[in-house]
């Protein structure tokens, strides 16, 4: 990208609100950053229709055995990795359902490997290894909307028939034009000029929260607003599961704990047992018949 093109991006311009940042006290710096951060949610809200379209695309893909594959470089890639890795413990999804690729590989998660983001060939090659198909959704993240690695990966995914999403912070970007669904959060100049780990990164985290939480909710992996598909990997999560069951089924903690044990430590099966007044085997059959949708399984009369 030419210096002129880079300078024209809103995310690269100087923020007049923080122009004398180096003369401010700690409280003044925190106040300026906080004031700028307050602009992020309204910027994201401008793209809610596109985010909703993306949620449905992801839910449809996962329901058909497809995958959500994130692509990003630098901060964008690290935020994508965070969201992908949080899905299995939150929703008990298979780690293969929500994946990520980041420029520079997984070593880039712990140290900067920023040069790789300029390579279109690497973007195509890294995504090709995952063999995207028409069942999949590939979501590219780039604050500038102009990262060659990410754009090339999205274009490759589209050629393979995958549905594509572009998430950026500058209007009418090449990434937005390359994707089927363009999500743009115009957060404006950063407090620290060009440091898109700040407002731009925050907007990306908010959008990915919506995509995966929205899609998993649409699939029925959430009951009311409760994490009923939570994975019981430690004591904290076990206690959370008991609290969820107690609240959702309106039973005491001992009943919730006992039912969870009878269910084989499956929160969805235990909830169906409690809500429908049935045994483990029937609850498991209902859940399978409802394709994992907990509410539908509870309400099923026949399976």
Active site residues: 86, 117
Other beta carbons within 10 angstroms of residue 171's beta carbon come to 12
Helix 253-262 crosses helix 235-249 at what angle (to 10 degrees)? 110
B/e letters for 274-295, b = 16+ CB within 10 Å, e = fewer, are bbbebebebbbbbbeebebbbb
Rounded distance, CA 188 to CA 75, Å? 17
Best CA proximity match to 138, nearest among 247, 54, 209, 206: 54
DSSP state letter for 115: G
Rounded distance, CA 260 to CA 239, Å? 11
| Residue 76 contacts residue 204 (beta carbons within 8 Å) | yes
Other beta carbons within 10 angstroms of residue 240's beta carbon come to 16
Q: Please, what sign has the CA dihedral across residues 58, 60, 65, 66?
A: negative
Q: What angle do CA 102, 108, 114 make, to 5 degrees?
A: 85
Best CA proximity match to 178, nearest among 192, 196, 202, 159: 159
């Amino acid at each position: 990208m030419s210096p002129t093109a880079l300078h024209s991006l809103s995310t690269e311009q100087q923020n007049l609100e923080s122009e004398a940042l180096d003369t401010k006290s700690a409280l003044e710096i925190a106040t300026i950053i906080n004031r700028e951060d307050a602009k992020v949610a309204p910027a994201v809200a401008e793209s809610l229709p596109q985010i909703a379209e993306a949620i449905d695309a992801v839910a449809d893909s996962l329901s058909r055995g497809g995958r959500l594959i994130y692509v990003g470089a630098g901060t964008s890639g690290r935020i994508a990795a965070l969201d992908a890795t949080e899905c299995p413990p939150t929703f008990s999804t298979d780690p293969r359902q929500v994946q990520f690729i980041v420029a520079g590989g997984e070593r880039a998660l712990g140290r900067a490997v920023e040069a790789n983001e300029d390579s279109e060939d690497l973007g195509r090659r890294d995504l090709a290894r995952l063999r995207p198909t028409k069942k999949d959704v590939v979501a590219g993240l780039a604050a500038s909307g102009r990262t060659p690695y990410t754009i090339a990966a999205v274009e490759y995914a589209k050629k393979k028939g995958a549905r594509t999403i572009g998430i950026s912070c500058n209007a009418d970007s090449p990434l937005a034009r390359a994707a089927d669904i363009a999500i743009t959060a115009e957060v404006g100049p950063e407090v620290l000029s060009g440091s898109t780990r700040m407002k731009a990164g925050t907007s990306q985290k908010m959008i990915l929260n919506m995509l995966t939480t929205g899609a998993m909710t649409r699939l029925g992996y959430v009951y009311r607003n409760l994490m009923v598909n939570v994975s019981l990997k430690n004591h904290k999560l076990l206690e959370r599961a008991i609290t969820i069951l107690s609240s959702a089924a309106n039973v005491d903690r001992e009943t919730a704990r006992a039912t969870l044990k009878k269910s084989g430590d499956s929160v969805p099966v235990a909830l169906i047992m409690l809500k429908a007044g049935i045994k483990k085997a029937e609850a498991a059959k209902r859940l399978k018949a409802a394709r994992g949708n907990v509410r539908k399984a509870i309400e099923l009369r026949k399976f």
